[in-house]
Amino acid sequence: MKKFIENLVYPRRCVFCSGFLDKNSNEDVCSECAEKLPWTKKKCKSKGEFFSECLSPLYYDGKAGEALRRFKFMRKTSYARCMGKLIADCVRENGKGDYDVIAWVPISARRMRKRGYCQAKLLAKEVSKALDIKCSRLLRKRRHTPPQSTLSGLAARKANISGAFSAVNKSGIAGSSVLLIDDVITTGATLSECTRMLLMAGARNVSCATLCKSVKK
């Protein structure tokens, strides 16, 4: 009865197109979007300077990019469950599968005050639930930096983020295989810098996963 009333008052909508979903379905993606979203499929893996691989189920394009921007900048935090599940499915199907702990790329204190939430942390918690792997805070952002999206080129992005992160909870990092979560990978500069900090703190290895990867023209 409770679920019936909730569906009546707050009908569930597709995360990507906002279309109404079947009230009896547990999915957060409509059948049309499930078929037509820009899936990366066999090209889900990206390489980085320090991390062993980054897995991403979607390209940052079309409805996927629009939904991610709503999640990140328009307080659509309810999207985290669906997006986290998509990341977890991609990791389960394509990853190494030997992860000890899940962590996330943190945002600065200034950005947290403005936004009110860390999108990567929300995703990491949902991935943790789906994969049944503990989720821990292993990194902090020491200083505020301009958004990476405002910079062009790998060199500029690496310089912008260099030294911006530090490891915390080092006892939880030492000897661990870490799965590091973020929302999108473009050049990989941010994930590489975070990975470098985790490896310096004693992580055995670091794999990464994001919802989206940039579309190379």
Q: Which of 3-12, 17-26, 86-95 has the lowest mean pLDDT?
A: 3-12
Q: How far is CA 206 from CA 12, 53, 85, 117, in A?
A: 36, 8, 20, 24
CA angle in degrees (0–180, nearest 5) for 78-84-90? 150
144 SS3 class: coil
pLDDT for the residue 161: 87
Tokens of 188: 């990989």
What are 137's strand-pairing partners? none
Mean pLDDT of 30-53: 94
pLDDT for the residue 217: 43
**pTM of the entire structure?**
0.91
First to last CA, the chain: 50
| 155-194 confidence digits (pLDDT tens) | 898 898 889 999 999 999 999 999 999 999 999 999 999 9
DSSP per residue, 87-118: HHHHHHHHS----SEEEE-PPPHHHHHHHSS-
- Domain ranges in the chain are 46-213
pLDDT for the residue 5: 46
Cα–Cα distance, 166 to 178 (Å, whole number) = 15
46-213: CATH number: 3.40.50.2020
Q: For the chain, what's the residue count?
A: 217
What are 104's strand-pairing partners? 181
Cα–Cα distance, 169 to 68 (Å, whole number) = 29
Could you tell me which of 57, 141, 156, 138 has the C-alpha nearest to residue 106? 141
Could you tell me which of 43, 75, 92, 94 has the C-alpha nearest to residue 212? 43
Question: Is residue 57 a contact partner of residue 39, using CB atoms and an 8 Å limit?
Answer: yes
| 123-152 confidence digits (pLDDT tens) | 999 999 999 999 999 999 999 998 888 777
Cα–Cα distance, 15 to 73 (Å, whole number) = 15
